[in-house]
Amino acid sequence: MLLPIKWAIRAMAASLALVVLYLGVTGVQVWLTSREHSTNHADAIVVLGSAEYNGVPSPDLKARLDGVLALYDAGRAPLIATTGGGLAGDTHTEAGVSATYLIAHGVPAASVIVGGGSDTYQNISSIAAPLKARGATTVLVVTDPFHEDRSMAIASAFGFSPSPDPATNSPLSGWGTFPYFLKETVAVAAGRVVGYGFLSSTSHPNG
């Protein structure tokens, strides 16, 4: 009777060790990706949404958009896709506010594709078809460093070839990003197993 119990305990311990190892390796990958900055040119820049306050980009979103402007002004890509939806009662969306900010800073309206979405998967889903309709297959992904790995993985899932260009002046920095890295590690680890689309549909069953 004791032998099966010992085997069960050993099996549980081995399984737990594998999970911890998997999360550890994933966490290192998320951190390494956060430090990458490509020099590639691409067909388009994709900026992930973040909070907006009554039509004004939050400091975090502004940091992302300023990074996009630097890439666009350097001629790294001719198109920009903005993403992010809004909460119930909002009069603006993250994508719309981002587009307005970029256009106000000199980007032609014809060069901006406005998407939506309530999470990263929906963000990229919202601009995938319009980008492909304009011939885009390579993208520069702009978001916070800790969010870069998952964003690029989802962009790849939609058939794009992504390169990382995380925001360099994000107000989220230092030890304050530790919880975000933990969250991203779990999200990436889970997404690789069950699929990012499944996680999105589970979190937002009504779209």
- Give the pLDDT of residue 45: 98
Enter the pTM of the model.
Answer: 0.90
CATH number listed for the domain at residues 32-203: 3.40.50.620
Q: Which residues on neighbouring strands pair with residue 52, listed in sequence order?
A: 57
Residue located via tokens 């490509």: 38
Q: What is the residue-level pLDDT of the chain in tens, covering all 207 positions?
A: 556 777 877 778 888 889 899 999 999 999 999 999 999 999 999 999 999 999 999 999 999 999 999 999 999 999 999 999 988 778 999 999 999 999 999 999 999 999 999 999 999 999 999 999 999 999 999 999 999 999 999 999 999 999 999 998 888 888 889 999 999 999 999 999 999 999 999 876 555
- Give the pLDDT of residue 130: 97
> How is the chain split into domains, by residue range?
32-203
| Nearest residue to 94 (alpha-carbon basis) of 61, 68, 139 | 61
Q: How far apart are alpha carbons 68 and 77 in whole angstroms?
A: 10
- Give the pLDDT of residue 194: 95
Tokens of 112: 């901006």
Question: Order of strands across the sheet with 138-142?
Answer: 112-114, 79-82, 44-47, 138-142, 161-164
Q: Is 144 exposed, middle or buried, given 0-12, 13-18 or 19+ CB atoms closer than 10 A?
A: buried
Q: How far apart are alpha carbons 137 and 44 in whole angstroms?
A: 8
Instruction: Compute the Cα dihedral for 71, 65, 49, 164 and give only its sign.
Output: positive
- Give the pLDDT of residue 87: 80
